[in-house]
A = this chain, B = another copy of it.
Amino acid sequence: MPKITFIPQNKEIGVETGTNLLKAADEAGLYIEGDCAGKGTCGKCRVKIVEGDTGKPTKAEEKHLSAGDLKAGWVLSCQRKIKQDSVVEVPIQKDAHLRKTTLAGGVESLEAEPLVEKCFVKLSRPAVKDQTADLERLLNHLKRPDLSVELRELSGLPAMLRNNAFSVTATITGNKIISIEPGDTSNQLYGIAFDIGTTTIMGSLIDLKNAEVTAVAAVTNPQNIYGADVISRINHASQGKEELKQLQDKVLEAANNVIKDLLKQTKVARDRVYEIVAVGNTTMSHLFMGIDPTYLAPAPFIPAYSRALEVEASDLGLKVNPSGRVTFLPNLAGYVGSDTVGVILATGMDRREDNCAAIDIGTNGELVLAANGKLMACSTAAGPAFEGAQIKQGMRASAGAVETVRYVDNEIQLSTIDDAPACGICGSGLIDAAAALLEAGLVDASGRFVNPEENPEDVPAHFKDRLKRGKGGFEFILVPGEDSENGEDIVLSQGDLRELQLAKGAIYAGLMILLKEAGINENDLDEVLLAGAFGNYVRKESALAIGLLPQLPPEKIVAVGNAAGDGSKMSLASKTVRERALALPGKVQHLELSTRSDFQDIFVDALKYR
């Protein structure tokens, strides 16, 4: 039986000869990125065979891997069958935020105040003088005659009591016993907090006794085969019940993979996970629960529901305790989901007394404003520019992406993720680049490149060669071909500047509308919080420079990390936080920007750089 050693994780696993390497990694509890479920079409599941036979590359490998990579031992793990002992290097995921286990700075911490409680009891034995039924004997001992009990737990109760000297542990949530276990299992009490993203599904296993995060795991949202954005997925789901079910099955299957990973990492038994809390945008929430999202797409953008939905794990086929409770936190509007609820909880905005805005930037930017003790929220169609999409050489934040660009001593300085040869530009690099070019005077406030042909005096001599004419206008060469990964220039185009303008303008205009509704202006803001991975990586100075954020001192701009996911964890760990979450739909005023007569004016004004 061949043995595979995965490095740098140092996990060993023995497998049958011919086992698929992607599967073997999965069995070893390792997460290898991939979008195509092992079909060889996405090219993402690259691993490097350090020892062992690499064999002949498959067609899929020839398509996705360069000759140099192949020579170095890189393969697609889905394409490989293992025939001998091997050492395989698994690249550490560059989406490092997926693996973050602690709550980001600036957000509230986890408090252990679980909704699920466990009680170990030792009952007196029945006798002719005490013919109390088994269930009532248990409830009397718990002094909770009001509790109901899951049928599936009741069926086995008589034998369990008699086989275990009438000593059992009851798991109670609300007014229901959801599990009865033999002996004393009161120290095994777990829950999982999910952040169901359009792109990535993250889960954290939490020991509910002490609110400790014991493991985290993530997978790509496999709904991506129906489109990268929520509108594509809504359109697919709208075609019929079967299509809706396809999308639900995908996300639940992914959630089950996360669960499997979490349980494997910690050796926690499936049945000891009694609660799941999830956040996500409104579309994800509908698809997760299998509810028709059709009318989210057209105006007036109406969700089927906004409240939190609570179901049993078995209703969804989630592989934790079948009676475990699954709660998807409430959404606030069609495009302001429970992920925003998570942001509000994690940042404590629902309890803050100062004026504070939170911005969660993604394809849709969600904005929350706490002002004068009131909460308002809106969404803006920022477009995917901040995620590197719609940008000429845009890419997600992974190795080789230009991530910082600065204008220092009259020069453009830049760095890439992992210092790898540049292969594109990610969201933070894009904002940095625009800010640097503005500072260098190569771009004017309207967002246009200065024309080196018409106004040659405006372009410093050493930049002249880097400003070239492209298809859609001028382009600035950030990285010349000789330094890039594939020999092509990495450029920032006029089109890229326009995309960025639209995106940042939408965010900024949204914030202005919220401030206007609250009757304050940007100087009244005590703090602006940047939520999400993007907020962690963007340079505040650049964001301020391009006018994405209001003109505040940088110390008032605070990145709070994945606040949505943190809010999910907090709601899982604490009854008090959960109550706050459930109350939010009634507390947050939603503003629909798309049809406001004042939005267009403010938006056009917000397009300007500074």
Name the B residues within 8 Å of A408 (CB-CB).
none
Name the B residues within 8 Å of A128 (CB-CB).
299-300, 592, 594-595
Residue A115 at the chain B interface, CB threshold 8 Å: no
- A159 touches which one: B131, B292, B331 (CB < 8 A)? B292
Name the B residues within 8 Å of A295 (CB-CB).
134, 158, 162
- A290 touches which one: B134, B151, B159 (CB < 8 A)? B151
Asked whether A135 lies within 8 Å of B333 as measured between CB atoms, the reply is no
Name the B residues within 8 Å of A594 (CB-CB).
128
Name the B residues within 8 Å of A127 (CB-CB).
300
Asked whether B294 lies within 8 Å of A159 as measured between CB atoms, the reply is yes
Closest chain B residue, CB of each to CB of A309: B151
Assembled-state Cα–Cα distance A309/B149 (Å): 9
Asked whether A292 lies within 8 Å of B131 as measured between CB atoms, the reply is no
Residue A342 at the chain B interface, CB threshold 8 Å: no
Chain B CB within 10 Å, residue with most, of A135, A155, A289, A290: A155
Residue A136 at the chain B interface, CB threshold 8 Å: yes
Cβ proximity bits A289-306 to B, threshold 8 Å, 1 near / 0 not: 111101100011111111
Name the B residues within 8 Å of A311 (CB-CB).
151
Interface residues of A in 304-345 (CB under 8 A from B): 304-307, 309-311, 315, 331, 333-334
Residue A126 at the chain B interface, CB threshold 8 Å: yes
**Copies per complex?**
2
Asked whether B133 lies within 8 Å of A306 as measured between CB atoms, the reply is yes
Asked whether B126 lies within 8 Å of A300 as measured between CB atoms, the reply is yes
Minimal beta-carbon separation of A466 from chain B (angstroms): 47
Asked whether B302 lies within 8 Å of A126 as measured between CB atoms, the reply is yes
Assembled-state Cα–Cα distance A244/B159 (Å): 13
Given A128-B592, A311-B151, A595-B128, residue A133 in contact with residue B299 (CB < 8 A): no
Q: List 9 A-B contacts (CB under 8 A).
A: A131-B300, A134-B303, A134-B304, A135-B304, A136-B306, A136-B585, A151-B309, A151-B311, A157-B292
Q: Beyond A136-B585, A157-B304: 11 further Cβ-contacts under 8 Å?
A: A126-B300, A131-B300, A132-B302, A134-B303, A134-B305, A136-B306, A151-B290, A154-B304, A155-B289, A158-B294, A162-B295
